[in-house]
């Protein structure tokens, strides 16, 4: 039999044209929901064995200091003591910096923030490990510390990383047209400095990893991780062994939000290091205070934004400076800063742009990945600017936005032509109708004229988020599928299940749609390094990018099996439809072969029943010197309208209704997408209204606990309308799907700040909008 054509893009295109679906687009129940509801789903800690060693981390009490000595003499007499391990015990390379080689796994020579891990204590029981960790004496020679990124940028006499000669870790830029000319053509100009703050992920399950040496002749790590292959590579590097000698398994994970993209691999490496050095299984589990003190946070940003528009309301120029407080290590801040920089215009066309970004070291907990990845802060600035431009022009903020909104055929700020999948204009227009924006804007204005204490406002935030990695950074999807003799299907993906549900819902749906099998016969084996490297479960890519490989592998099998069925039924392959585990003749559905018989025939005829789905995303080039070029293959878009009531006596902001509209291509599972949107709205609302880390003069976090780091409870959750979906299909996505996971968080600072500003008639430039900060803005509290 001839081999069917198996070019990935051709297969993606073919299924992109589907108009009728078996399971895609339907609220199929995820396969892990029952086991999670019943408490049967297993997380890292559930794999503990009785012979395990417990690890406790010794963390720095100093923000910036030389390490003189680590004394653990008091520990040697303790029974069950297995060792105290420091940088000098690392057999491989003590270098885990993500973007830049600036970060040790265990502090070496000096510490750069309070919370930096200096040593690992291992003991046969947890209490002993805790006691020994308390008794380990680290002698420091304190150095002056820098906490303010603006100060850090200016100083060269005090360096956090001496070898760099500067506290600026990374710079980015975009240049388009001539901003001087753009501002000269502007009839209105708005200029502000915005400030946003850190956010902790507060995943229900803190970081955990269990390392088991010699299982299968290699180091096996079970852990809460977002990218198993990255965790494997970092672990192998630290141990000084080949990557193929490390296996990473990611079981169910109690939340990631980006935090376990950064800290997950480090937790894995720490557990593996102890297991490697002791020859025994080793387990690390962060306490909540360790988690908050140690792991990276959402960027705290300072954004200076100047924008101008002509009297017709057309944007003429934006001039933006973005400064990220990267903390002690660069980690992913260059990539986060890139994303912020590329998105600095918002989803609007602007002829002249100048954007400069700086990631700056300070002696604080460092910056890392967090749902929205640099984009929530910049869209906050963009959307505050748009509201103020509209106000100054005397037009409705929606009109101003729609006048400048990106559409197919327009160019982004980096000069990239948007050729398809730009549904943002439709999303805004539909949302304005659904939320009755104009009527409410007027209604609240009247309400505020007579209401003294309570003020109501309605605001909008529009946002875009590039699909895949920024610029030309390689990105791919990969998955492996095999059909077993009994017809059941095993799918292997490195995408993890961190609560979002892609391997347990959309991947299953993709396979069922393409192969016509029933969900109960599909097993997605997810989150392990024995699957092909599928990239990370981050950047809203689990279903969109992660699903491409699943689609391609499944479609390859489908092509082969449709050909086989065609020959069995005596028709052309195009005449075969497969559904409900039967391959039928389209024109005469009474003629069919069963899925089971089809698989038996494939085995007897030598049709390969396994396939790899690999797809490398086509990208262009970004010119760093010119600050122009390709940024992303496409963008997801979202807009959120929110309605608030502010108590001007207490400063309390009550969000009473949130309206989302999403342009993220095909919605494969509306139930899951709705869950993602609601979760992101609440996480974003918590960030804007109540969450804040309090630092003292040494950069110590004073509230590393859930008593005083306050996140929303169910009673704080506003009414969230059913999302509006604009299905602007993405040419590389499975069935045209784009990313969703991060989307609804991105415009939350923008929409809430705009609503509060609308309610109070004041400018909002600084987050969070805690009651106290609201009263400060109103001048009621000093």
Partner 1 sequence: MFYRMPEIEYLRVSGLEEALQILSRKEDTKVLAGGTDLVVDMKVGRYKPKVVLDITGVKELRFILDEGDRIRIGALTRIQEIVESSIVRRKIPVLAEALSELGSWQIRNMATIGGNLCNASPAADSAPPLLVHEAKARLTSLEGFRSIPLTEFFLGPRKTVMRATELLYEVEIPYDEDFAKGYSYLKIGRRNSFTLSVVSSATVLKTSDGRFNEVRLALNSVAPTPVRARSVESFLKGKEIRGGIIEEAAELVVNDISPISDVRASAGYRRHVSKVLVKEVLTKALTRLKEAGGD
Shortest Å, Cβ 649 to partner 1 = 4
Can residue 50 be called a binding residue for partner 1 (CB under 8 A)?
Answer: no
Distance CA 628, CA 345 (A): 13
Pairs from 429-433 (Cβ < 8 Å, separation ≥ 24)? 429/402, 430/661, 430/724, 430/726, 431/460, 431/639, 431/641, 431/659, 431/660, 431/661, 431/724, 432/398, 432/641
Q: Which of 367, 507, 775, 777 binds partner 1 (CB under 8 A)?
A: 775
Which span sits near partner 1 by CB under 8 A: 96-104, 283-291, 409-417, 668-676?
A: 283-291
Nearer to partner 1, 159 or 690 (CB): 690
Can residue 451 be called a binding residue for partner 1 (CB under 8 A)?
Answer: no
383, 276 contact by CB (below 8 A): no
Compute CA 197 distance to the chain's CA centroid, rounded to the nearest angstrom. 17
Shortest Å, Cβ 201 to partner 1 = 17
Distance CA 369, CA 765 (A): 23
Can residue 22 be called a binding residue for partner 1 (CB under 8 A)?
Answer: no
Pairs from 448-456 (Cβ < 8 Å, separation ≥ 24)? 448/759, 448/761, 452/648, 453/647, 453/648, 453/649, 454/645, 454/646, 454/647, 454/648, 455/645, 455/646, 455/648, 455/759, 455/760, 456/643, 456/644, 456/645, 456/646, 456/759
End-to-end CA distance of the chain: 81
Distance CA 387, CA 305 (A): 13
Can residue 771 be called a binding residue for partner 1 (CB under 8 A)?
Answer: yes
The 659-698 contact track toward partner 1, x by CB under 8 A, reads -------------------------------x---x----
Nearer to partner 1, 443 or 772 (CB): 772
Q: Which of 159, 525, 716, 729 binds partner 1 (CB under 8 A)?
A: 716
Can residue 710 be called a binding residue for partner 1 (CB under 8 A)?
Answer: yes
Q: Which of 137, 586, 605, 780 binds partner 1 (CB under 8 A)?
A: 780
Can residue 650 be called a binding residue for partner 1 (CB under 8 A)?
Answer: yes
Alpha helix stretches (DSSP H) within 195-332: 228-239, 259-278, 288-294
Can residue 713 be called a binding residue for partner 1 (CB under 8 A)?
Answer: yes
Can residue 703 be called a binding residue for partner 1 (CB under 8 A)?
Answer: yes
Nearest to 698 by CA among 147, 110, 112: 147
Nearer to partner 1, 335 or 709 (CB): 709
328, 116 contact by CB (below 8 A): yes
Q: CA-based Rg of the chain, rounded to a whole angstrom?
A: 27
Can residue 19 be called a binding residue for partner 1 (CB under 8 A)?
Answer: no
Q: Which of 80, 177, 670, 712 binds partner 1 (CB under 8 A)?
A: 712
CA distances for 551 relative to 20, 159, 554, 676, angstroms: 16, 49, 5, 22
Q: Which of 7, 702, 761, 762 binds partner 1 (CB under 8 A)?
A: 702
Can residue 772 be called a binding residue for partner 1 (CB under 8 A)?
Answer: yes
Can residue 447 be called a binding residue for partner 1 (CB under 8 A)?
Answer: no
Can residue 285 be called a binding residue for partner 1 (CB under 8 A)?
Answer: yes
Shortest Å, Cβ 776 to partner 1 = 9
For residue 277, the SS3 value is helix
Q: Which of 649, 719, 761, 762 binds partner 1 (CB under 8 A)?
A: 649
Residue positions counted in the chain: 782
Can residue 126 be called a binding residue for partner 1 (CB under 8 A)?
Answer: yes
Alpha helix stretches (DSSP H) within 244-287: 259-278
Nearer to partner 1, 79 or 707 (CB): 707
223, 44 contact by CB (below 8 A): yes
Can residue 519 be called a binding residue for partner 1 (CB under 8 A)?
Answer: no
Q: Strand 188-195 and strand 168-176: pairing?
A: unpaired
For 761, other C-beta atoms within 10 Å of its C-beta total 11
Shortest Å, Cβ 208 to partner 1 = 12
Shortest Å, Cβ 238 to partner 1 = 24
The 387-406 contact track toward partner 1, x by CB under 8 A, reads --------------------
Nearer to partner 1, 71 or 134 (CB): 134
CA distances for 752 relative to 161, 641, 660, 722, 756, angstroms: 38, 8, 13, 18, 6
Alpha helix stretches (DSSP H) within 172-223: 179-184
Alpha helix stretches (DSSP H) within 461-540: 507-515
Nearer to partner 1, 288 or 600 (CB): 288
- The token duo for 111 is 């510490």
Shortest Å, Cβ 79 to partner 1 = 15
Please, which residues have CB within 8 angstroms of residue 319's CB and are 6 or more apart in sequence?
179, 183, 305, 306, 307, 353, 354, 355
190, 307 contact by CB (below 8 A): yes
Nearer to partner 1, 174 or 760 (CB): 760
Nearer to partner 1, 446 or 780 (CB): 780
622, 472 contact by CB (below 8 A): yes
Q: Which of 18, 33, 287, 763 binds partner 1 (CB under 8 A)?
A: 287
Can residue 288 be called a binding residue for partner 1 (CB under 8 A)?
Answer: yes
Which span sits near partner 1 by CB under 8 A: 19-27, 440-448, 633-641, 764-772?
A: 764-772
Distance CA 731, CA 663 (A): 14
**DSSP H/E element including 366:** none
Q: What angle do CA 85, 91, 95 make, to 5 degrees?
A: 85
Please, which residues have CB within 8 angstroms of residue 16's CB and are 6 or more apart in sequence?
729, 731, 733, 735, 736
Binding-site size, partner 1 (CB under 8 A): 33
Compute CA 681 distance to the chain's CA centroid, rounded to the nearest angstrom. 14
Q: Which of 7, 127, 436, 442 binds partner 1 (CB under 8 A)?
A: 127
Nearest to 456 by CA among 465, 464, 467, 447: 447
The 231-270 contact track toward partner 1, x by CB under 8 A, reads ----------------------------------------
Nearer to partner 1, 258 or 651 (CB): 651
Distance CA 3, CA 563 (A): 9
Nearer to partner 1, 260 or 700 (CB): 700
Shortest Å, Cβ 717 to partner 1 = 9
Can residue 708 be called a binding residue for partner 1 (CB under 8 A)?
Answer: yes
Which span sits near partner 1 by CB under 8 A: 396-404, 626-634, 666-674, 705-713?
A: 705-713
Can residue 778 be called a binding residue for partner 1 (CB under 8 A)?
Answer: no
Q: Which of 26, 36, 131, 698 binds partner 1 (CB under 8 A)?
A: 131
Shortest Å, Cβ 715 to partner 1 = 4
Nearest to 108 by CA among 118, 98, 99, 100: 118
Shortest Å, Cβ 48 to partner 1 = 11
Percent of residues in the chain assigned helix, strand, coil, to nearest 5: 35, 25, 40
Shortest Å, Cβ 53 to partner 1 = 14
Nearer to partner 1, 158 or 710 (CB): 710
Nearer to partner 1, 398 or 681 (CB): 681
The 134-163 contact track toward partner 1, x by CB under 8 A, reads x-----------------------------
Nearer to partner 1, 454 or 476 (CB): 454
Binding site for partner 1 (CB under 8 A): 126-127, 130-131, 134, 285, 287-288, 290, 649-652, 690, 694, 702-703, 707-708, 710-716, 770-772, 775, 780-782
């Amino acid at each position: 039999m001839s081999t069917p054509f198996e070019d990935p893009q051709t297969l993606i295109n073919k299924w992109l044209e589907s108009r009728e679906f078996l399971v895609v687009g339907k609220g199929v129940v995820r396969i892990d929901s029952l086991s999670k509801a019943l408490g049967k789903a297993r997380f890292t800690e559930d794999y503990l064995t009785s012979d395990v060693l417990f690890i406790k981390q010794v963390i720095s009490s100093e923000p910036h200091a030389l390490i003189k000595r680590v004394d653990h003499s008091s520990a040697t007499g303790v029974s069950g003591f297995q060792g105290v391990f420091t940088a000098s015990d690392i057999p491989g390379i003590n270098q885990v910096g993500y973007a830049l080689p600036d970060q040790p796994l265990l502090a070496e020579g000096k510490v750069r923030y309070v919370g930096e891990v200096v040593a690992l204590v291992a003991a046969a029981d947890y209490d002993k490990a805790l006691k020994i960790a308390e008794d380990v004496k680290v002698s420091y020679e304190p150095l002056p510390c820098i906490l303010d990124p603006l100060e850090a940028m200016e100083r060269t006499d005090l360096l956090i990383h001496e070898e760099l000669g500067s506290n600026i870790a990374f710079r980015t830029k975009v240049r388009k047209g001539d901003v001087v000319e753009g501002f000269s053509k502007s009839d209105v100009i708005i200029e502000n400095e915005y400030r946003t703050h850190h956010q902790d992920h507060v995943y229900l399950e803190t970081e955990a990893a269990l390392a088991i040496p010699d299982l299968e002749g290699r180091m096996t790590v079970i852990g809460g991780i977002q990218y198993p292959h990255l965790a494997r590579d970092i672990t192998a590097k630290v141990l000084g062994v080949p990557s193929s000698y490390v296996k990473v398994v990611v079981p169910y994970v109690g939340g990631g939000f980006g935090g376990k993209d950064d800290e997950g691999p480090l937790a894995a490496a720490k557990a593996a290091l102890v297991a490697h050095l002791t020859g025994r299984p080793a387990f690390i589990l962060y306490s909540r205070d360790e988690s908050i003190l140690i792991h990276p946070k959402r960027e705290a940003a300072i954004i200076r934004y100047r924008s101008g528009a002509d009297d017709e309301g057309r944007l003429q120029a934006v001039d933006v400076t973005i400064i990220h407080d990267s903390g002690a290590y660069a980690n992913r801040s260059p990539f986060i800063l890139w994303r912020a920089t590329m998105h600095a215009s918002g989803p609007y066309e602007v002829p002249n742009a100048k954007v400069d970004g700086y990631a700056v070291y300070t002696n604080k907990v460092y910056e890392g990945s967090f749902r929205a990845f640099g984009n929530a802060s910049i869209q906050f600035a963009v959307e505050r600017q748009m509201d103020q431009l509209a106000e100054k022009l005397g037009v409705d903020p929606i009109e101003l936005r729609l006048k400048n909104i990106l559409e197919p055929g327009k160019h982004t700020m980096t000069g990239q032509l948007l050729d398809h999948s730009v549904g943002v204009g439709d999303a805004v227009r539909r949302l304005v109708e659904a939320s009755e924006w104009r009527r409410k804007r007027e209604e609240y204005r009247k309400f505020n004229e007579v209401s003294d204490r309570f003020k109501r406002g309605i605001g909008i935030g529009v946002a875009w988020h590039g699909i895949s990695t920024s610029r030309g950074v390689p990105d791919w999807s990969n998955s492996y599928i095999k059909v077993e003799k009994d017809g059941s299907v095993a799918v292997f993906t490195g995408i993890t299940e961190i609560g979002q549900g892609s391997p347990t819902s959309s991947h299953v749906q993709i396979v069922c749609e393409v192969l016509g099998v029933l969900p109960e016969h599909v097993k997605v084996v997810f989150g392990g390094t024995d699957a092909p490297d599928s990239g990370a479960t981050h950047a809203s890519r689990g279903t969109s990018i992660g699903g491409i490989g699943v689609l391609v592998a499944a479609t390859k099998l489908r092509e082969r099996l449709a050909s086989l069925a065609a020959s069995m039924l005596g028709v052309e392959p195009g005449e075969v439809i497969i559904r409900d585990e039967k391959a039928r003749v389209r024109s005469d559905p009474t003629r069919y072969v069963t899925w089971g018989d089809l698989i038996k025939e494939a085995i007897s005829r030598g049709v390969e029943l396994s396939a790899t789905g690999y797809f490398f995303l086509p990208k262009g080039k970004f010119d760093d010197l010119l600050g122009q070029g390709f940024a992303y293959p496409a963008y997801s878009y979202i807009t959120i309208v929110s309605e608030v009531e502010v108590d001007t006596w207490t400063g309390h902001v009550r969000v009473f209704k949130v309206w989302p509209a999403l342009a993220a291509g095909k919605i494969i599972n509306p139930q899951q997408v709705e869950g993602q949107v609601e979760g992101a709205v609440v996480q974003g609302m918590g960030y804007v209204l109540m969450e804040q880390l309090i630092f003292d003069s040494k950069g110590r976090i004073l509230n590393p606990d859930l008593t005083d780091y306050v996140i929303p409870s169910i009673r704080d959750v506003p009414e969230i309308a059913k999302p509006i979906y604009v299905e602007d299909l993405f040419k590389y996505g499975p069935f045209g799907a784009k990313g969703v996971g991060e989307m609804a968080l991105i415009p939350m600072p923008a929409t809430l700040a705009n609503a509060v500003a609308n309610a109070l008639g004041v400018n909002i430039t600084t987050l969070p909008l805690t009651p106290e900060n609201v009263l400060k803005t109103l001048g009621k509290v000093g």
